[in-house]
Every structure is written in C-alpha cells, then in structure tokens.
Structure 1
Amino acid sequence: MSIQIAASDVIKLILQFLKENGLTESFQVLQNETGVTYNAPKVPTSQLVSALLEGNWKELLLYLSGLELSPSFLMDLFEHITLELALDGDYHSAKLMIEKSFPLENLLRNNEPDRYVRLERTILLLESGAREVDSFPLNTLERRQQLSRRLLEEQVPPIPSGQLLGLIGQAMKYQYTQGLISPGIEFDLFRGQPHTSCMKRRDERELCQFDCIQRIQTDSGTNIPCGMFSKDGQSFVTGSLDGFIEVWDFLSGKLRLDLSYQVTEEFMMHETSICCLEFSENSQLLASGSIDGQVIVWNFQQGKIIRRFVLPCQPCCLCFKENELWVGCSDGVIRLLGLKSGRILKEYVGHTSFVNHILYWDNNDNKEELMMSASSDGTIRMWKREDGDNKVIMNGSRGGWNPSWSIQMVVPCQQDSYGLIVPCASNRIAIWNRKEEKVCTISPVSSILLP
C-alpha cells in the first residue's frame, strides 16, 4: 500500500517551520514563489473561538485578516455580525457593513441577491422598532456556536506546532528500529549518514582534551533532546523522544527511577518528545514539557504527578517561582501557571517568536519582581510581574548586535550583579551592562571586545 503525499503539504510544513523560527522573509518568499498559503492565524485558535463566542468583532476580524476563508463562511459571518450590530442598536455600523464590506457588498449581493435584500429589510425593520423578524433567526448564542464549529472544522483547524521536526524525529526512530541507525552515534541528517567525518575534523581543531567524568547510556538507545542536573547535583534527569523521563544517579551512572512508569493509567503521560525540563529551587518539584503542549509537574521525590497543564502551543522553557511556574512558548507568549489552582493565571505578550529562556532578576533598588526573557526574535525583554509591562533591553539597535540572531539564554555574571552574558545563534557572545546600559560583543576570531 502506497501513501500519497501532496507536494503542497510538504511546503506547508516548511512554511510552519519558517514561521515558528521567526524567518519571516524566507516565509514570505516561499509563499509567493509556490503560491501555497500557510493558512494559520496569528493567535491560537482558542483565542479566535473565544473572540467569536464573546462577540468581540473588532478583535475577531483583526485575527482573521490575512487568512484565506471560504466565500460561504465569510458571507455567513459578516451577515451575523451585521445582525448583531443591529440588535445592539448600532444601526449605522450595520448599514456600513452592508454597503462597504466585501463579503456582503460583493459576494452576497452578486451571488445571493435575494438574501442580500432580505438582510437590508431586516435591518430596517429592527431600526423601526420591530423585535420579531421572521426572515432571520435571531438566536445569537446558538449562531455563534455554529460559526465557531465551522471555523475550526472547515477554515482554520488546530495545527500542532513543530510538525516538521516531529516527523523527522519519528523517521529517525523508525530507522533505529529497523537497525539502520546505531545508538550512541552522532548522525548527519543532511547527508543521511553517521557524522564521523565531521567529528574527526572537530577533534583536530580542539586545543584542549577533557576526561569523561561519567557516561550515561539509556537501555533503549532513544535520542535524548533535553536533560539537566538536580539542584544538589546528585541526579541527572533526561527526557526522550518517546516522552519518557528517566532519573539517573550521576555518581554511579545507573538508572534510579523512570518517572513515566510511576504513574497510573488515569494520568496521561507525555506522548511526544520531551522538549524542556526544570527543577524547583528545593528540588522537590520537577516540571517537564513536551512538543504537544503538555506541561506536567512532578513530585520528584515520590515520582508522582501533582499538576498537568495543556497549553495551545509547544513549551520551550520553564522557570519555577515559589508556587508558580513560568512557561515560555513557541508562539512568543509567556504563560504564568498556578500550581495551587491548576490554571493559567496570566499571559505576557511581547515576543514574536520562540521564548528560549526565562530568568528572574533581583532588583534590590526598588524591590520589584522583574523577569527577563530571551527569544528567537533577537530580543531580550524585561517584564514586571504584576501588570505585564515590558521593555526591550537588547535588540538590533545595540552596537554590534544583529536582530536576526536568535538569543538562546541569559546568564548572570557571577562577579558583577549588573552584568549579563548573552549567547546567541552566531559566532559572538554579547555582554550587557545593565547599570550603564551598554552592550559589547566578543568574537572568537579577534578575541577582543567590540563596541
């Protein structure tokens, strides 16, 4: 049995990858050249549905701008918006919708003239004070629910994030099960062969030799996309492509606990690749996130799930703060999760691409709770916890800094409470002085500070 894959679907996967990684120019060029449109809204589909059900028409139309929607859905949607405006007494806006909006003035009037005339008549009747209109059903809540179902089923169905990388990971896993890939070998995905030649050239360039302190090898040989030490340094936790979380005794290198086998079937474990891990300050809690949008908080000592969150997109980084968990997501939004309430407490919007790292900054001057976030959009933002206000403290306007460089993390300088080390997706490392608000970059070629 052969499986037919449309070429347009492959292009859409590439478009999704480009959009999620902030490659806007490449995204636009590929769309223009192929004629294939990545018909996905700028906000999560849950936010679209919420705006429709609550009747926030201004936000809804803003979210839907740029999407390719069917003429029948556009006519139904604008017809219902016009009716609701009239029912709310805004007859002027309703008439403008009939006369000026493209779905009604062009599509509805040319394709269904009788329906267009009936809509005009209904608006006039409502304006004259008639509340019983037989020509249209005026159950607004039921109509909104129908439109929301059509929006999700026909127009913008929910699309999981990171599909291209997920499919490549599944293909690699299948090749391993078929014996085509050996465990423990660095694989060159582009060439389709072990990365031995590249490893050899890298070894020849290395100036220092390091001794291996401990080697940890999983029994299954599954790739490990993320791992981290516990705060006491005694345990090393790994997350696999299979969604399993394993705890290793670092001194002996032996498996101490497999968290994924400690829970009962009533709890849903991670079913896709683990993409981020984080310990609480006292190492009592462990948070794990997977590419399907799940975030699970574990009691690390007992190996039990205490909280489970489902987010509308992929979590990229985690950060504990007392009874709260900050999650940086692939849509550029930072979400504050309450461990006691089990709900999303607040969303912080500002970044336009993946949020790669979240760091708390102790501000002893005015005792404010500040949070710093680094993103693939090439910026670092400073946030106030309470009101969500933020300002960009590093972007392309700083000296020697390219806005296309994806910022991976923010590391405080140990000797300088005002200094930050900023690695990015380039051959430079930036050092930012918060007190003087200056940025210098270190290049490995020149090994000097450049203003």
Structure 2
Amino acid sequence: MSTVQSKDTVKLILQFLRENNLHRTLQALEDESSVTLNTVDSKEGLMNDIKNGKWDVVLKQIISLSIPPPQLVDLYEQIIIELVDLNEKGTARALMKRTDAMRWMKENQTDRYIQLEQIFVQPKDMYGQETKEARRNRIAQELVSHISTVPPSRLLTLLGQSLKWQQQQGLLQPNTAYDLFRGVSHVQKAEEDASVTKPYLSIKFPGKKTFAECAVFSPNGQYIATGTVDGFIEIWNYLTGKLRKDLSYQAEDSLMAMDNAVLCLAFSQDSELLVSGSTDGKITVWKVQTGISQRRLSPAHSQGVTSVCFNKDGTQVLSGSYDHTVKIHGLKSGKTLKEFRGHSSFVNAVAFSSDYTRVLSASSDGTVKIWDTKTTSCLHTVTPKTNADLSKGALNPVGGIGSQTVQSIVRVPRNMDQVLICVKSNTLYIMTMRGQITKSYSHHKKTGSDFVSAAMSPQGEFVYGVGEDSSLYCFQTTTGNLLGETKIGDAEVIGLVGHPFSNVLASYDESGHVYFLKA
C-alpha cells in the first residue's frame, strides 16, 4: 500500500499558506519543521525572468527556495556584475555584504570573492569568456534543475480528488456534506418517499450453503452489515455491492466472525458499534472501524439469540432468544440487568420504544408483548387478528391466531408511538405502544404468500412486506392500498431491511443472494 511522507504533507500545507498570504505562519512552519517548499509555479517563467535579467522578480521567487550554495552564488555573482555594469554600485555592494550566498563565497571561494570585488575598481572583462546572455542561460539551466514545479492549490485539489474517489467507490454519497477533520459524512437527510420497485444490484455469497441469516443498515446510512450462516460478519457498500475495503480489517480479509451462525445484527445509534447474536446463545459487540470485539456475552442465552438492539447511549443490549426470554445486558459489567419472561415459544424480534421506557417482543407463540423496561412487568399482550375491530382501535385479546408466528417489529418513522408488526400471514399490522391495532395491510392471497419480513420507507409513507413467494408488496401507509408487487428472486426469502434515508431496500434469501432495490 502506498504511503504518504510526512514531509510531503508539510509541503502541501506550506503551499496553501503561501498562496493565501499567511507568511508569518509559513515562516514559523518552515522553521519548526525544517521543511521548505522549494517549488515555483512555473520553471519556464523563472528561466525567462533570469534570461531577461528581471532580477527583482527572480530574487522574490528564490528567497524562499532551498538552492545549493554554488548555484546560488552563480546567480548573485551575475546580478552583482550586471549592477556594476549599469553603474548601480551601491546596490551591488549591498548584495556583496548582506546576502548569505556572498558570505558563503567569501568563506569557501575566497579567491573568487576577491576577484569579484575588483570589478568595483576595474570594471573590465566582467563576463569573462562568455557573453552576458550565455551566462544568464547557463545559470538559469543549472538553477531550475534544483527546483520542482507544482500546480497551484495542490492541497485542495487532492482533497477534492479524494472525495471524488470515495463517491466513485460508494463510500460517500454524492452531494453529501463531509467533515474533513473527522473523516466522516454528516448524517444524510431522508429523501422524499417513493415506491421501491427496481432491482439494481445483488450480492452472491460463495458456496451453495452460504447465505445471510440477517442484514441491517447503519443509522447513518453509510453501511449495510450481513451475518451469515457460517459465522462471518461483513460490512458492504450498498451502492456497489462490494465489501467496504476502507475498513482495513476487511481489506486484509480479516473479517469479524462468531463461532456459529449469526442470526441477528444491530448498530448503535452513532453507527460506531455493531452487536451480533448467534445460534450458540452468545452475543458480541464490535467496533465497526477496527473490527475488534469490545465485549463478549457468553452465553447471553441458553439457546440461539434471534434479535438484538442497543439502548440509546450504546451501554446496554436488548436481546431475544429461542429460549423464550428477553434480556437486557450491561456492556460495562457484562451481566444480565433485566429479564422478561412470559412467552411460550421462540422470541423472534425485540425492540425498545422511542423513549426507551418500553420493551417490545414478538414471538412464535403468536403474540406481541409490551413490557415496562424498569419493572419488567408485562403491560400488554397483543395477538393481531385479521377480524380485529380496527375502526374502534380495540385492544386485541390473547389467542386468536394460534400458530401464526409474529416475525418482526419495525418502528414507524415520524410516529414514534407506532410499530409495524409482521405476522406470518397475508396481513401486516400497525400497533401503538398501548397495544392497539390501528391499521392492517393485506395482499389477500390465501396460500403460499405469507409475509416473512417487513420494512418501511424513510418518511413512513409506504409499508413493504416480502412474502414466501419471494415477492415484494408495497402498500400506501395511510390508505392501506396495495400499490404494487415486485418479484425479487426464486429462493425463499429470509428477511427485508430498509435504508434509513434513501428509497432502498435489501432482501436476502436462502440461495445466498442479497438483492437491492430502489425507487
């Protein structure tokens, strides 16, 4: 990998200071770093100035350059000779007495210095065997060989090229504000909602038996992470479908990994941490930028961990499991802080309410439970029903669906009191934090098309559900109308996730594909 020399970095800064007339800062940095810029905007321009005897212009340019003494002495000697020839002896004597180049000549080429002094008394044969023009040309050639030329504004140009490269690699969204000092993009603003229907990209995991068990977009919209059946966790560029090689550990093929299949993933709110849960009941918290494990909870559950999420400040992890329990773990202590019991089957999804005072859990027992985070008491148990009295917003009683598994819970954007519930049936539901079903969305197909996962658009105007038939269904949130159906693939779909700001969805299936769709 190419490396940047610190001296070159200092030179870029020196050029920036010089071009912006910050001369005192420029001098201070040169003195402190012992680095000089030693560049001119144009070698040809400097050579022409020497050939034409424009000594005032030449001296202004070379004063900040680092030129070997012999070449610098040749230049000053020529200037002094020409000044004497023009009878400007006062100026010529000042250069003889006050310049470092002539002091060097006096100390190291004494005979030459004495001979030069003689021209003030006997100004004859001053140019020797060469003509004035020939001497100027020789001096110009020798002088510029020690000077490099750099196009103007190199620092800003290189920064611009770097940002352009990141955009081309999909590491930076076009027209996105970028914090150069921290090296991060500002959080994107959500796009206006549009119906997602167009597949534009896919990822295929190698091997016939390797596929993603889970996927999640980061809250800042920069990453999508996948966890696979063989235990690997990878961070992807969702615009190109390539691994994020700007993460050094992925560039070196040193991936985050667990001992068994990764069933769930979640980012912290600042997108800096990633938590994973596996089939052996273990939970690991990773630093995204380094790929290093920050905390391992082993075991967090007695059976596989099916769902995880962080609390607001990233100090706790909420988890659900095949062991029927929901837990809150403290990352500092590594201990279980709270435990919620009451489900009679697998817990498939867990989530905090927007104010973190409630915990929600979805289970294969057909229910969604709403818990008090502080006391762990169950406040509501909801069984979504296809015949619910939606107009009255009635609280649904327990037991009405039987074996219809509740698959997932998705927060509703811009309405933090509501969540989208995906039931393995032909209907999706909107539920409040008080356990009321307020809306339903159905494609009305009887068999072979039950929903397995759901997502929402960034602004919450569209509800998406993906069915067993590998079709994506799009509904209008307010009206409940089915707007469209898009066939994604042929294999059975495992999950669906939505980008937090862009009209982008990612669906992953048992064939090892991750499909990306956009509006």
Q: TM-score by structure 1 length?
A: 0.47
Q: Looking at CA atoms only, which structure, 1 or 2, has the larger radius of gyration? A: 2
Higher relative contact order (CA 8 A, sep 6+): 2
Q: TM-score by structure 2 length?
A: 0.41
Which structure has greater helix proportion?
1
